[in-house]
Amino acid sequence: MATSSGNNLASALGGSLIIVAISVMVGGAYSWAFQSGDHPVRLRIDSAGNQGVVLGARGGDEPIDNAPRVLGYEISTEDAYALWNEGIVFFLDARSLEEYEQGHIAYSRYLDYEHLYDVPFPPIVNELYEDPSQPIVFYCSGGECDASHNAATYFQGLGFTTVHVYMDGYPGWVEAGYETEAGPDPLMEQP
């Protein structure tokens, strides 16, 4: 009986060694192939902190100029301006109504953040809900302001799929010299 169980153990160990050997050969072949050939396109954060930079094929670290740029959840002033320039993105200001009326990113809408969680939803939520894939950029006062992050997270929970938080907020926009305006949101219901 001892020899029978010894043979079973030797057989099991032999099978395991074969599996390990095959795994090592496959892994080695994969590594060898990608050392000398094309590498898949990779995304990473570049040295300037930009997310979604497309790196070159063949292992190079130079970005591909014509590759699509994938924006992250948090975006810079440069990214926010590029989206604003396209004119297909909603910019929602999560600051107070008073701050919004004193000055805001041109064509942005006021997001009544203080009543965002009320039922029924503020009208802007219902308006945007017609197309939850509509890109939305949330901003507030930048720095320590959490309203834009909280609003973006809330909208994601409602099923919105393309939301960004403009990290530098209104102060960053003003500092860059981009277009602003003052006054009430022309589409907001007035009391």
Q: At what angle do helices 77-86 and 169-176 cross, to 10 degrees?
A: 80
Give the pLDDT of residue 14. 64
Of 63 and 89, the structure prediction assigns the larger pLDDT to 89
The span from the CA of 102 to the CA of 104, in Å, is 7
The span from the CA of 178 to the CA of 24, in Å, is 56
Give the pLDDT of residue 167. 96
Give the CA distances from residue 44 to residues 31, 37, 55, 59, 84, in Å, rounded to whole numbers and listed in that order. 21, 20, 8, 13, 24
Other beta carbons within 10 angstroms of residue 47's beta carbon come to 8
Q: Which of 30-34, 121-125, 163-167, 185-189 has the lowest mean pLDDT?
A: 30-34
The span from the CA of 90 to the CA of 54, in Å, is 25
Query: Which tokens belong to 54?
Result: 């497309």
